């Protein structure tokens, strides 16, 4: 290595290339003028791209005359701190994702696109030296300017170097025109300054007004477990049945952390970030609260991001990607509903926000709390092996008691639009008692299948191995996998018969049927179709929270996190599909969903009731769950995982490939497997497959996958690295795409 000053700037960009690129400094600048963590605009191929400086070097593997110069420096101070750099490094190596792409994915969109770090700026005014020294009567012919100058002088004399915002200036009765005149005479200076507007959607001001309830003994014990560990890393599972007061325990821990002038990051599932949730925080704490959710503009997200980074926000609440938010002074991380599938990103950089939260807490040496009524098997396993601490809340908070559960055998029973007589009678009774009933249907749309009664033809997506779902309003057939939409034929495509049947129940159909059965009561439907708008979900929830008798119909969106005080009856229309789910996580997901749905019933006062309709009443999962609840079934599920050597007893990675041409993906993974199996086996790993995906064709692409499994994480990662090297190097059929998924959620 040659000695001397660094000549080259190392830059990463969002690209599939797994390395950095060397650039020359722009003319007149030195390499070291580009600080690590700042953004630069660099020429790349025929385009310009935004990159981040990650280091400097004296040598480059590319001859200096082939290197290009940086076009533009976008920041003078680092926007990516060491924390984020280290996190990106960890993620890049754990998820085997290119470092540059990883690092840029951690940033808000506006920064990724090269925008200013300041989301909002406004003009600020300051009196100049010259202005300060101006004799009092110098502006006697311009009284407005004189008044403004005197106003700014008073401000400056009160606090040196003070800036007066244009808003404040106008507030005091001065005009921008006078300020501009003064600026022309060099008596004042103007500058753009960052600020947070008071109506910013992503930064709310907390106003404590709620009277906290007196904690019960279990809550006190759980709270103590957490608050005893506020100054070091630990992972605490807070396992508490729905309505047991977990959120109240979080709020008490947050109170302690805020009192230490530290920040708290709270992660919630995708659909859990309703105004109702946010209000619990806003009404409890007098601190600025930064919010991240999908309804924000890029600018609003950036404002929340900088407020967290600069320590302005005391509490940061957000969904999955909020886990990357930099914090000036983090004290605690909370992950609500830690088992929720939405914490795992399912495309591109396939990370788990829960796992990353734990990594961040460890790096920052602060505690992390995982809360759930139905913790994931991985988390429970970590409790069993003493990696995590465990606090439990077994009682419902306040006066609520757990619901009674009844499995309704619907074999041979007459069904009215999917509902048994017992279910209808129960709804009727609930409504006449002035309470609410909820019908859980796991399909949105009208009917999951359009079928010909004469020849058995059914409507199928042209692009996927999937049936089309019939929707009413607007009436069309839709594919729920690729969003392909098409008109509803009036006769069978194969035999021209007009006897087309709508088979099965979707939320629309159930809602229609319930409206017809109970015309005097409102039917509130909640699914992805009815909650599209920014405010829609919150409005629906508000309507439910009014507590008037009503029927709620919805998909699993209804099952999560909400506290509906007047809801007393829950009906699960059909659980059988879940029980047949072939994925290894199928049983876990189904039981979690059942438990969550059931947990909605009877949350205040009256004992609630849950009716589960099924054709499989003897299914062991249902049997154990009914008598022993979630905790009872966990042992059985863990046993099964252990016997089959599946997570958490083994670790898996999945390589997926897809291609337009049938067979290409399969052949490609086959050649990978053929060449690598021996070495992989020798290193204590196992290759399983390649297999065609259960839905072999999706959105016009044919899909195959190869699983790598090992009991040792280290060997798994070693082998994945080798496989990726092969994948990067090998010649691929045109149009073939592949991806790697570490700790996949679904493997079918
Ligand atoms: P979870 O997060 O476990 O679902 P919450 O914290 O939302 O439970 O509590 C459920 C309901 O019970 C809320 O309305 C909450 O205000 C109330 N609650 C929580 N703890 C107590 C308590 N100790 N005494 C009375 N009410 C409580
Ligand atoms: Zn037909
Ligand atoms: Zn499709």
> pLDDT tens across 157-210, in order?
888 888 888 888 899 999 999 999 999 999 999 998 888 888 889 999 999 998
In a shared domain, residues 346 and 281: yes
In a shared domain, residues 625 and 513: yes
Tell how far the Cα of 474 is from the centroid of ligand 2, in angstroms: 24
CATH of the domain at 676: 3.30.70.1130
Q: What is the pLDDT of residues 452-503, one digit of tens each?
A: 999 999 999 999 999 999 999 899 999 999 999 999 999 999 999 999 999 9
In a domain, 96, yes or no: yes
Most informative mutation of 212, 216, 240, 245 for ligand 1 (most atoms within 8 A of CB) = 245
Burial environment of residue 364 by CB neighbours within 10 A (0 to 12, 13 to 18, 19 or more) = middle
Nearest C-alpha to atom 6 of ligand 1 is from which residue? Answer: 245
Nearest C-alpha to atom 10 of ligand 1 is from which residue? Answer: 243
Most informative mutation of 215, 218, 223, 243 for ligand 1 (most atoms within 8 A of CB) = 243
Q: How many Cβ atoms from other residues are within 10 Å of residue 260's Cβ?
A: 12
Check whether 247 has a pLDDT greater than 90: yes
Q: Give the tokens for residue 641.
A: 């995982």
Q: Which residue, among 240, 229, 289, 245, has the nearest Cα to 264 in the 3D structure?
A: 289
Number of the ligand 1 atom closest to the C-alpha atom of 240: 3
In a domain, 268, yes or no: yes
In a shared domain, residues 494 and 458: yes
SS (HEC) of 684-728 = CEEEEEEEEEEEEEECCEEEEEEEEEECCHHHHHHHHHHHHHHHH
The CA distance from 122 to 166, in Å, is: 7
In a shared domain, residues 380 and 293: yes
CATH of the domain at 104: 3.40.1440.60
Residue 629's H or E segment, with its range, is helix 620-643
In a shared domain, residues 357 and 480: no
In a shared domain, residues 54 and 179: no
Average the pLDDT over 60-88 and give the result.
94
In a domain, 209, yes or no: yes
Coil vs helix vs strand at 737: strand
**The predicted structure's pLDDT at residue 605:** 63
| Final residue in a domain of this structure, among 112, 138, 158 | 112
**HSE-CB of 109 using CA atoms within 13 angstroms:** 8
Q: Give the tokens for residue 451.
A: 């079928």
Average the pLDDT over 501-516 and give the result.
95
Tell how far the Cα of 604 is from the centroid of ligand 1, in angstroms: 10
In a domain, 259, yes or no: yes
In a domain, 646, yes or no: no
Cα dihedral value 222, 224, 230, 233, nearest 10: -50
**Residues bordering ligand 3, an ion, CB closer than 5 Å:** 461, 463-464, 479, 481-482, 484
264 within 8 A of 254, measured Cβ to Cβ: yes
In a domain, 108, yes or no: yes
Ligand nearest 215 Cα, by number? 1
Q: Give the tokens for residue 428.
A: 């009727």
Q: What is the pLDDT of residues 6-38, one digit of tens each?
A: 899 999 999 998 999 999 999 999 999 999 999
Ligand nearest 397 Cα, by number? 1
CATH of the domain at 421: 3.40.50.300
β partners of residue 569 = 437, 609
Q: What is the pLDDT of residues 426-450, one digit of tens each?
A: 999 999 999 999 999 989 999 999 9
Crossing angle of helices 586-598 and 620-643, in 10° steps, is: 140
- Beta strands 72-73 and 39-44, pairing class: antiparallel
| Final residue in a domain of this structure, among 53, 79, 112 | 112
The CA distance from 172 to 185, in Å, is: 22
Count of domains observed in the chain: 6
Check whether 134 has a pLDDT greater than 50: yes
DSSP 644-660: TT-TTSSEEEEEEEEES
- What 8-state DSSP symbol labels residue 225? H
22 within 8 A of 10, measured Cβ to Cβ: yes
User: What mean pLDDT value characterizes the chain?
Assistant: 93
The CA distance from 314 to 289, in Å, is: 6
Q: Give the tokens for residue 244.
A: 């047991």
- What 8-state DSSP symbol labels residue 472? T
In a shared domain, residues 582 and 671: no
pLDDT band at 603 (very low <50, low <70, confident <90, very high): low
In a shared domain, residues 421 and 361: no
Coil vs helix vs strand at 738: strand
In a domain, 399, yes or no: no
Nearest C-alpha to atom 8 of ligand 1 is from which residue? Answer: 245
**The predicted structure's pLDDT at residue 312:** 95
Average the pLDDT over 637-652 and give the result.
95
In a shared domain, residues 421 and 435: yes
CA 666 to chain centre: 32
| Final residue in a domain of this structure, among 90, 112, 134 | 112
Q: At which residue do the structure tokens 């863990």 appear?
A: 638
In a shared domain, residues 439 and 456: no
DSSP 500-556: EEEES--HHHHHHHHHHHSTTS-EEEESTTTS-STTHHHHHHHHHHT--S-EEEESG
- Higher pLDDT: 159 or 218? It is 218
**The predicted structure's pLDDT at residue 3:** 59
* Nearby residues of 643 by Cβ (< 8 Å), 6 or more positions away: none
In a shared domain, residues 169 and 214: no
In a domain, 27, yes or no: yes
The CA distance from 294 to 276, in Å, is: 16
Domain that holds residue 53: 8-112
In a shared domain, residues 148 and 224: no
């Amino acid at each position: 290595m040659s000695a001397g000053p660094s000549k080259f700037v190392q830059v990463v960009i969002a690209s599939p290339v797994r390395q950095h690129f060397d650039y020359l400094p722009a003319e007149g600048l030195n390499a070291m003028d580009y600080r690590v963590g700042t953004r630069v605009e660099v020429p790349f191929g025929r385009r310009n791209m935004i990159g981040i400086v990650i280091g400097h070097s004296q040598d480059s593997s590319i001859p200096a005359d082939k290197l290009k110069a940086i076009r533009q420096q976008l920041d003078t101070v680092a926007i990516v701190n060491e924390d984020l750099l280290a996190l990106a490094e960890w993620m890049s190596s754990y998820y085997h994702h290119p470092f540059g792409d990883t690092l840029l994915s951690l940033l808000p969109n506006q920064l990724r696109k090269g925008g200013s770090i300041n989301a909002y700026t406004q003009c600020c005014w300051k009196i100049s030296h010259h202005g300060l020294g101006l004799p009092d009567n110098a502006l006697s012919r311009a009284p407005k300017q004189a008044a403004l100058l005197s106003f700014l002088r008073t401000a400056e004399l009160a606090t040196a170097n003070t800036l007066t915002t244009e808003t404040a200036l106008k507030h005091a009765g001065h005009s921008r025109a006078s300020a501009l005149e003064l600026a022309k005479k060099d008596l004042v200076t103007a500058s753009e300054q960052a600020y947070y507007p008071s109506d910013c959607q992503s930064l709310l001001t907390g106003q404590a007004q709620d009277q906290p309830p007196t904690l019960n003994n279990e809550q006190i014990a759980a709270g103590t477990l957490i608050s005893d560990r506020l100054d070091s890393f630990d992972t605490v599972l807070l396992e508490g049945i729905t309505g047991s007061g977990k959120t109240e325990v979080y709020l008490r821990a947050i109170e302690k952390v805020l009192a230490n002038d530290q920040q708290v990051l709270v992660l919630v599932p995708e659909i859990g970030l309703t105004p109702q949730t946010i209000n619990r925080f806003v009404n409890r704490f007098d601190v600025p609260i930064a919010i991240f959710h999908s309804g924000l503009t890029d600018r609003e997200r950036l404002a929340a991001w900088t407020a967290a980074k600069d320590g302005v926000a005391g509490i940061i609440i957000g969904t999955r990607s909020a886990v990357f938010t930099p914090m000036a002074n983090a004290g605690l991380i909370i992950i609500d509903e830690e088992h929720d599938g939405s914490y795992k990103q399912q495309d591109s950089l396939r990370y788990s926000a829960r796992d990353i939260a734990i990594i961040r807490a460890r790096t920052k040496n602060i505690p992390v709390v995982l809360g759930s009524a139905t913790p994931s098997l991985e988390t429970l396993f970590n409790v069993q092996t003493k990696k995590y601490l465990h606090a439990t809340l077994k009682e419902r908070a306040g006066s609520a008691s757990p619901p009674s559960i009844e499995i309704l055998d619907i074999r041979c029973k007459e069904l009215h639009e999917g509902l048994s007589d017992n279910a209808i009678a129960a709804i009727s009774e609930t409504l006449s008692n002035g309470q609410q009933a909820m019908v859980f249907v796991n399909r949105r749309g009208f009917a999951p299948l359009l079928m010909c009664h004469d020849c058995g033809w059914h409507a199928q997506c042209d692009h996927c191995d999937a049936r089309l779902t019939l929707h009413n309003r607007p009436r069309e057939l839709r594919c729920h996998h690729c969003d392909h939409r098409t008109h509803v034929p009036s006769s069978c495509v194969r035999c021209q018969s007009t006897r087309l049947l709508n088979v099965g129940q979707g939320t629309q159909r159930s809602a229609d049927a319930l409206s017809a059965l109970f015309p005097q009561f409102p039917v509130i439907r909640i699914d992805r179709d009815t909650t599209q708008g920014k405010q829609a979900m919150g409005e629906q929830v508000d309507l439910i929270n009014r507590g008037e008798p009503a029927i709620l119909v919805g998909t699993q969106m209804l099952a999560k996190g909400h506290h509906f005080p007047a809801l007393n009856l829950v009906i699960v229309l059909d659980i059988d599909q879940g029980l047949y789910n072939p994925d290894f996580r199928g049983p876990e997901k189904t039981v979690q969903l059942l438990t969550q749905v059931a947990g909605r019933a009877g949350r205040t006062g009256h004992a609630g009731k849950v009716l589960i309709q099924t054709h499989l009443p003897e299914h062991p999962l249902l049997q154990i769950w009914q008598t022993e609840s979630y905790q009872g079934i966990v042992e059985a599920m863990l046993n099964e995982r252990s016997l089959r050597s599946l997570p958490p007893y083994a670790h898996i990675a999945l390589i997926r490939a897809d291609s337009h041409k049938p067979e290409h993906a399969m052949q490609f993974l086959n050649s990978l497997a053929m060449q690598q199996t021996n070495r992989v086996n020798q290193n204590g790993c196992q290759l399983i497959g390649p297999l065609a995906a259960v839905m072999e064709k999706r959105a016009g692409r044919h899909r195959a996958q190869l699983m790598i499994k090992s009991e040792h994480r280290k060997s798994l990662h070693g082998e994945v690295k080798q496989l990726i090297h092969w994948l990067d190097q090998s010649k691929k059929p045109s149009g073939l795409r592949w991806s790697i998924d570490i700790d996949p959620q679904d493997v079918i």
